Amino acid sequence: MVHPLPPALQRSVGKPHPTNNILALAPMSDASIAVIGYPQDLGMCRATKRDGTRCTGWCDKRVSDVCDYHIQHAVEQKRARLESVGRDAQAKAARKISVVDSEKALQKLLQRDKEVAKDGSNRKKVEKAESRHTEEEEVHRTLRNAYSAQLIRQIGYEEDTFSILPFVEHISYLDALGAAHATRKIELGPRPGKKSCVDRPQPSTSAASSSAAPATHDDLEYADDPDSPLHIPEAAFGRPVGLSGGTFIDLDDDDGDV
């Protein structure tokens, strides 16, 4: 009797892939079993466990060389990796978008603040101009309503000659100034009258006579003789002694008299 049965179709009791009694047969002895051949599409899983041993699960070689468990485990790992990569990219893109959005929001706030400040300054300028205009209108209104036209005519105001009178008065004033300047007598000099009560002191006659004429008799004896001890040489008055005449001195002379 031949009863082939793939192990994937059997129910697993505590194990996903049974390896004992895979054909669900109970032979009486080894002699009663004859090996006809090995199936081409049924094989053992080639995956290696974490402890280094080989997986004992059955697999369909037409599909893959590993069992369904390891296929599912590999797919889950790949999905987990792709999910993490995608999440990182999405988080990165989200961060970039948030940064760009924050920059845009900041620029909008700054632009709004500038516009508000500009509007405030323009509003202040407009308010100042309006207040100035209203003040001018009020002043003009008060001046205009001070006197009526009838009252001005009663006073003697003439509209035709009013615009010419100030110019004519100015010209007449300039002519009067020119005539006064032409007839003015200009004298350059100090102002008349005494300016100070301090006078220069006048020198006395005795001091002037003593300083002007030196004394001729000073009770001193003068000698004209050159050998006299009272004789004053000319060198005392800035003249060299012995060079005024034609006398020369012989330095090679042995005489002691010079």
pLDDT digits (tens, 9 = 90+) for 28-79: 777 877 777 777 788 888 888 888 898 888 888 888 888 888 888 888 888 7
More confident residue, 11 or 156: 156
- Residue 246: per-residue pLDDT: 52
The pLDDT-based confidence of 224 (bands split at 50, 70, 90) is: low
Q: Range with the lowest mean pLDDT among 111-115, 154-158, 184-188?
A: 154-158
Residue 208 has pLDDT above 60, yes or no: no
User: In sequence order, what DSSP letters do the residues of 46-69 get, joined into one string?
Assistant: --B-TTSPBP--EEETTT-SS-HH
pLDDT class for 181, splitting at 50, 70, 90?
confident
Q: What is the DSSP letter of 9?
A: G
Percent of the chain predicted with pLDDT > 70: 52
Q: Please name the residues in contact with 33: beta carbons below 8 A apart, sequence gap of 6 or more.
A: 27
DSSP state letters, 63-105: T-SS-HHHHHHHHHHHHHHHHHHHHHHHHHHHHHHHHHHHHHH
Provide the pLDDT for residue 213.
47
Indicate the pLDDT class of residue 221, thresholds 50, 70 and 90: low
Contact 62, 44 (CB under 8 A): no
> Are 42 and 6 in contact, with CB atoms under 8 Å apart?
yes
Confidence at residue 65, expressed as pLDDT on a 0 to 100 scale? 87
pLDDT band per the 50, 70, 90 thresholds, residue 4: low
Q: How far apart are CA 216 and CA 174, in angstroms?
A: 77
pLDDT at 217: 47
Average pLDDT score over residue span 139-158: 64
The confidence score (pLDDT) of residue 193 equals 74
